[in-house]
């Protein structure tokens, strides 16, 4: 039985092997499956490290049957549809990572201007200035990558490589910036009250969702003709 307290979608998109193509490869098709379909179960038993406001569930299908009318698009192009969706999703993850990084930087900068040590604000110390400068620079570079990838997609131009660029760089930048922001806050940054530790936990998922950092590097290498 569905647990409606932790699952919200009334339908999901499922890809499944539906046969073989002429060259002997598996044919993968996409289907729209209502969550109330007999044999379909949603289990939400995960207790995540971060991004806890977004529920993550396991989909269990046992002898689920859907009519032909629920076929989504060309039955032989389900996998390509899936990959195209992933490319677009990578831009979204990159934008999300960028937002987390910016928020962490803003908090770190404000704190550095307020916190005093040895009679002066810590923002006057070169060690802190260098951290903030690197954070600001990498956030701006990530922003430009996200905007370029999104622009290419909007213009209906090829954007797969740029989406991988943006997702990889923005996600790793977010983790790095959050870690540095926590360092600037010192012991306070480790406390939930300041919100930095949550940002760091949330940022880590950006390096995993929609393809790990390792996968992004493989995607980029393929576009460079390495593979």
- Estimate to the nearest angstrom the gap between the alpha carbon of 6 and the chain centroid: 21
Domains of the chain: 11-72 (2.40.110.10), 81-223 (1.20.140.10)
The pLDDT value recorded for residue 7 is: 65
Contact criterion met (CB below 8 Å) for 161 and 223: yes
List CB contacts of 171: < 8 A, sequence separation 6 or more: 93, 94, 97, 203, 206, 207, 213
Beta bridge partners of 60: 41
Closest alpha carbon to 42 in 14, 63, 61: 61
Under 8 Å between Cβ of 100 and 178? yes
73: tokens are 């698009």
* pLDDT for position 2: 42
Predicted local confidence at residue 107, as pLDDT: 98
* 138, 172, 207, 210: the active-site residue: 210
- Per residue of the chain (227 residues), what is the pLDDT tens digit? 344 444 678 899 998 898 887 777 889 999 999 999 999 999 888 899 999 888 888 999 999 999 999 999 988 888 888 888 889 999 999 999 999 999 999 999 999 999 999 999 999 999 999 999 999 999 999 999 999 999 999 999 999 999 999 999 999 999 999 999 999 999 999 999 999 999 999 999 999 999 999 999 999 999 999 87
Q: What is the pLDDT of residue 9?
A: 84
172 is catalytic: no
Would you say 189 and 196 are in contact if contact means Cβ atoms under 8 Å apart? yes
Q: Is 117 helix (H, G, I), strand (E, B) or coil?
A: strand
Q: Are 19 and 43 in contact (CB under 8 A)?
A: no
- In sequence order, the β-bridge partners of residue 138 are none
Q: Are 152 and 90 in contact (CB under 8 A)?
A: no
Indicate the helix (H) or strand (E) that contains 198.
Answer: helix 196-206
């Amino acid at each position: 039985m569905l647990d409606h307290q932790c699952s919200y979608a009334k339908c999901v998109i499922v890809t499944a092997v539906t046969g073989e193509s002429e060259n002997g490869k598996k044919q993968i098709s996409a289907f729209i499956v209502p969550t109330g379909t007999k044999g379909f179960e949603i289990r939400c038993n995960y207790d995540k490290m971060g991004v806890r406001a977004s529920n993550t569930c396991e989909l269990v299908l046992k002898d689920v049957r859907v009519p032909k009318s629920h076929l989504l698009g060309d039955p032989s192009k389900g996998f390509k549809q899936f990959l195209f969706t992933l490319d677009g999703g990578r831009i979204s993850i990159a934008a999300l990572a960028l937002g987390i990084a910016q928020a962490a930087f803003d908090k770190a900068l404000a704190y550095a201007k307020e916190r005093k040590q040895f009679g002066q604000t810590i923002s006057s110390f070169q060690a802190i200035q260098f951290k903030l400068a690197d954070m600001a620079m990498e956030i701006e570079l990530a922003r430009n990558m996200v905007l370029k990838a999104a622009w290419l997609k909007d213009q209906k131009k090829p954007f797969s490589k740029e989406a991988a660029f943006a997702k990889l760089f923005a996600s790793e930048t977010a983790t790095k910036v959050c870690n540095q922001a926590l360092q600037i806050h010192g012991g306070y940054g480790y406390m939930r009250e300041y919100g930095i530790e949550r940002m760091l936990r949330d940022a880590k998922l950006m390096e995993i969702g929609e393809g790990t950092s390792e996968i992004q590097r493989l995607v980029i290498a393929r576009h460079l003709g390495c593979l």
